[in-house]
Amino acid sequence: MMDVGRHPRIKLLTYSEIEEISGYIGNFRIKIRRKARYVDENECTACDECVEVCPVIVPKEHQMGLASRKAIYIPFPQAVPSAHLIDIEACLGFDPIACSKCAEKCDKNCINYDDKDKIIEFDVGSIIVATGMDVYDPTEFDEYGYTRFENVLTSMEFEILTGPGGVTKGELIRPTDRKVPKSIGFIQCVGSRCEKRGNPYCSNVCCMNTIKDTLLLKEYYHDIECKVFYVDIRASGKGFEDFYRRSKGLGVKYIRGIPGDIREDPKTKNLILTVENTSKGSIEEHELEMIVLSVGLVPRYDSDVIQKLLTLSTTSDGFLMEVHPKLTPIDAPTSGVFFAGCCEAPKDIKDSVTQASGAAARALTILSQDKVKIEAVTSIIDEDKCTSCGICADVCPYGAIIVDKKAKIPAKVIEAACKGCGTCAAECKFDAIRMRHFSDEQIMAQLEAILEENPEEKIVVFACNWCSYPGADLVGISRMQYPVSPRIVRTMCSGRVDEKFILHAFELGAPIVLVTGCHPVDCHYIDAQQWAQRRVERLWDKLERKGIRPERLQLEWISASEVGKFVKTMEELEEMRKKVTREEIEETKRILSKIKK
C-alpha cells in the first residue's frame, strides 16, 4: 500500500468518483470528482493533534458501534494517503464561530473549511476495473438472529473485531460481556449456494477463511472450543487441504449440517443452536458463547455505475461479465477495458492479485503500442442521396454526425467518433447511409440465402453483436438444446435492424422474425437500442394496417448471459412458427410485393 503512495508514476486520487468516461480504446477521456477532504492531503502529517481537540464524537464505520471517532479523522492508522479528513456532516466548523478548534491547532494550516469538490480531467489508453465486492448481509436469515443476538456476528465483523484496526487491538472478546469466549461456532455458506435466499453461487473464500480463523483461534487460545457447521468444505487451492487437516488436528470440530435455528439464553447470552448432523443422522443441540456467520461475497452495491459508464454487462449472479469465460477471462467486452479482482467473480487474495497482474499485462499490450487500429465498421454518407433532413444526427448516440439542416449541407460523419452501431443507416429514410462491413446489400443477401429454400421452416433472428449473439454462443457452450428453425443474422446493434430487412424477410416467406439485442441498460451504444424498439413498435402498427399479423414480428431483449431466456424464446417462437400457414405466408408475400410496386 505504501508503495502506491510513494510511486513516482502513480497518481493516487482517493475520495474520488468517476463522473464520465468517453472515447475508445487508446483514447479514453476521464472526468473525476475529487471530493473535498477539508484537509490538505499533501501537507498533513497525520500528527493527530487536530483529533485531540475536535469536540464531535461519532460512531466509527464498520465497528458495530464498539468504537468511535471524531469529526476529523484518519480512516485507519496505516491509511494511504496518510492524511486526515473531515466528516463534514458531523463537523461544526462550517460555521467558524461555532468551532474551528482543529484549524487553530494545526501548525501547518492544512485545514480549510471552504474546501470544494474538484473536477479533474485526463486521458488514458486503457482502463482496469478493480471495483471489488461487498459482503452479504444475513438479515434475511432471521432464524440465526443476526439482528437480535449480539453474540452472532458475520465473518467480516469478526475479522474487523479481531483485526489490527479493531477496537480490541486483536484481542478476541464477545460483544455482550467483553470477555474471551470459551466456545465459538462457525456457520458456513450463509447467503451462498442457496437458490431461495442469498445467492446460488459458491463465494469461494468462506471455507478457507473459516479454517484460517480456527487456526488463529487455536494458536492464541488453546482451550477455546471451535465448531464448524458446513455442507461441504471446499479447500481446493494450493496447500489448502493441509490447512484443513491442521485445523482438524488441533481439535476443531467439523460437523456436517447447516443449523436450523439459534436461540439465546437470556441470562448467559449464550447461544443454543439446533442442527441435523447429516453424517450421523441425528438432531443435535450445541451451546456456544459466540457464533460467526460465514457470509458470502456479493457484487458491489454501486457496480451499476461503472457498468453504465463503460457499457459492461453482468452475468446472472450480478458480477461483471468477461468476453469469454475460458479464453479471455480478463477482458471486458468494451475494448481496452480489463477486470481485476472480485468485480468479475468472488475470489481470494491470491487469485485477485494474480488476475490483477494479468490485467496489467493485458493493458500493456495496448499501452506499449504507439497506435491501435479501430474496427472499420463505420457509416459513410452518400451526399447525392442525402437531403440534410438531420434524422441521422438526432439518433446517433455519439454525436458523430453533423448536418446543417438550414444551409442544406449534407451529413458528415466524424469517423473516429462513429462506433458503427448502424442506427443512422437504419433510420435514414433516403438510403443515404452505408454501413461499412454491414451494408444493406450484405444483410439482404444473407436473408435471401437463408430463405431461398423452405422459408416456412425458418425463424429469422436478428441478433446484436454484444448481447444476443454471444448469448446464443453461450447457449452452445452450455450445450443447451433448442429447435433447429432459428437462423441468426448478426448486426452490431439492434439499432441497425432496418425496417427494410424485416419486410424483406417477410416478403421472402419468413413465418416469424425476431429482433433481439441488449437490454436498455446493457446497450453497447449508449441508447441506440431504443431505436430498434421504436422501429418494431412502429412496424407492428404498419403490419396490422397492411393486413399482416403483427405477432409474426417478435421482440426480445436477451443479454449475453441469459441462456435460459434465449432457449425459452426459441421454443416459444417455434410453436408460433408452426401455426403460420402457407396460405398466410403467400398472402403476406402478395401484400408486400404489391406495396413495392
Partner 1 sequence: MGSETRIGVFICECGSNIAGTVNCMELMEYAKSLPDVVCVVVNRYTCAEPGQQEIRRYVCEQDLNRVVVAACTPKMHEPTFRKCVSDAGLNPYLMEMANIREHCSWVHHFDKAKATQKAKELVKSAVARARLLEPQKELEVPVTQAALVIGGGIAGIQASLDLANAGYPVWLVEKAPSIGGIMSQLNKTYPTMD
Partner 2 sequence: MIEEADFKCLRCGHEFKAPYEKGKIEERFCPKCRSNSVRHIKKKL
Q: Please check whether residue 582 is in contact with residue 456, taking contact to mean a CB–CB distance below 8 angstroms.
A: yes
Write each residue from 470 to 489 as x if it is in contact with partner 1 (CB under 8 A), else as -, in one continuous string: x-xx-xxx-xxxx-x--xxx
Identify which of residues 572 and 586 has a Cβ nearer to partner 2 in the complex: 572
Give the total of residues touching partner 2 (CB under 8 A). 19
Q: How far is the CB of 302 from ligand SF4 (least distance, A)?
A: 28
The residue within the footprint of ligand SF4, chosen from 214, 315, 355, 388 (CB under 6 A), is: 388
User: What does the block give as the cell for 19?
Assistant: 463522473
Can residue 295 be called a binding residue for partner 1 (CB under 8 A)? Answer: no
Choose the contact partner of 306 out of ligand SF4, partner 2, partner 1, none; CB within 5 to 8 A by kind. Answer: partner 1
Question: Strand 459-464 and strand 401-404: pairing?
Answer: unpaired
Question: Strand 57-59 and strand 290-295: pairing?
Answer: unpaired
Choose the contact partner of 3 out of partner 1, ligand SF4, partner 2, none; CB within 5 to 8 A by kind. Answer: partner 1
Can residue 518 be called a binding residue for ligand SF4 (CB under 6 A)? Answer: no
Touching partner 1, residues 33-52 (CB under 8 A): 37
Can residue 432 be called a binding residue for ligand SF4 (CB under 6 A)? Answer: yes
Can residue 14 be called a binding residue for partner 1 (CB under 8 A)? Answer: yes
Can residue 469 be called a binding residue for partner 1 (CB under 8 A)? Answer: yes
d(CA 264, CA 287): 9
Full DSSP string of 49-97: HHHHH---EEEPTTSTTS-EEESEE-SSTT-SS---EE-TTT-STTSTT
d(CA 220, CA 199): 34
The residue within the footprint of partner 1, chosen from 349, 545, 575, 594 (CB under 8 A), is: 349
CA atoms within 13 A on the CB side of 426: 29
d(CA 352, CA 342): 7
Write each residue from 79 to 108 as x if it is in contact with partner 2 (CB under 8 A), else as -, in one continuous string: ------------------------------
Choose the contact partner of 433 out of ligand SF4, partner 2, partner 1, none; CB within 5 to 8 A by kind. Answer: ligand SF4
Q: Please check whether residue 80 is in contact with residue 2, taking contact to mean a CB–CB distance below 8 angstroms.
A: yes
Can residue 426 be called a binding residue for ligand SF4 (CB under 6 A)? Answer: no
Q: How far is the CB of 48 from ligand SF4 (least distance, A)?
A: 54
The residue within the footprint of partner 2, chosen from 96, 251, 520, 547 (CB under 8 A), is: 520
CA distances (Å), origin 22, targets 35, 121, 467: 21, 11, 21
Longest CA–CA span in the chain (Å) reads 93
Q: Please check whether residue 322 is in contact with residue 342, taking contact to mean a CB–CB distance below 8 angstroms.
A: no
Touching partner 1, residues 432-451 (CB under 8 A): 436-437, 439, 441-443, 445-446, 448-450
Name residues whose C-beta falls within 8 Å of residue 232's C-beta, 6 or more positions apart in sequence.
Answer: 256
Backbone phi, psi, residue 502, to 5°: -65, -45
The residue within the footprint of ligand SF4, chosen from 398, 444, 483, 490 (CB under 6 A), is: 398
d(CA 50, CA 137): 35
d(CA 493, CA 525): 8
Report the candidate in 350, 317, 28, 359 with the shortest Cα–Cα distance to residue 195.
317
Can residue 216 be called a binding residue for partner 1 (CB under 8 A)? Answer: yes
Can residue 417 be called a binding residue for partner 1 (CB under 8 A)? Answer: no
d(CA 276, CA 256): 8
Can residue 394 be called a binding residue for partner 2 (CB under 8 A)? Answer: no
Can residue 359 be called a binding residue for partner 1 (CB under 8 A)? Answer: yes
Touching partner 2, residues 161-180 (CB under 8 A): none
Can residue 551 be called a binding residue for partner 2 (CB under 8 A)? Answer: yes
Identify which of residues 476 and 520 has a Cβ nearer to partner 1 in the complex: 476
Name the residue with cell 428453425.
485
Q: How far is the CB of 428 from ligand SF4 (least distance, A)?
A: 3
Strands (E), 468-527: 486-491, 512-517
Helix ranges, 221-270 (H): 240-249
Identify which of residues 107 and 370 has a Cβ nearer to partner 1 in the complex: 370
Contacting range for ligand SF4; rule: CB under 6 A; set: 127-135, 382-390, 562-570, 583-591: 382-390
Can residue 530 be called a binding residue for partner 2 (CB under 8 A)? Answer: yes
The residue within the footprint of partner 1, chosen from 96, 170, 251, 260 (CB under 8 A), is: 170
Contacting range for ligand SF4; rule: CB under 6 A; set: 230-238, 281-289, 423-431, 571-579: 423-431
Q: Please check whether residue 430 is in contact with residue 403, taking contact to mean a CB–CB distance below 8 angstroms.
A: no
Touching ligand SF4, residues 84-113 (CB under 6 A): none
Q: How far is the CB of 513 from partner 2 (least distance, A)?
A: 11
CA distances (Å), origin 315, targets 324, 386, 465, 467: 12, 42, 17, 11
d(CA 297, CA 134): 6
The residue within the footprint of partner 1, chosen from 52, 123, 287, 571 (CB under 8 A), is: 123
Report the candidate in 191, 434, 456 with the shortest Cα–Cα distance to residue 317.
191
- CB atoms inside a 10 Å sphere around CB 386: 20
Write out the residues near ligand SF4 by the rule CB under 6 A. 378-379, 381, 386-392, 395-396, 398, 400-401, 403, 410-411, 413, 418-424, 428, 430, 432-433
User: Which spans of this chain sit near partner 2 (rule: CB under 8 A)?
Assistant: 519-520, 530, 533-534, 537, 540-541, 550-551, 553-557, 565, 569, 572, 576
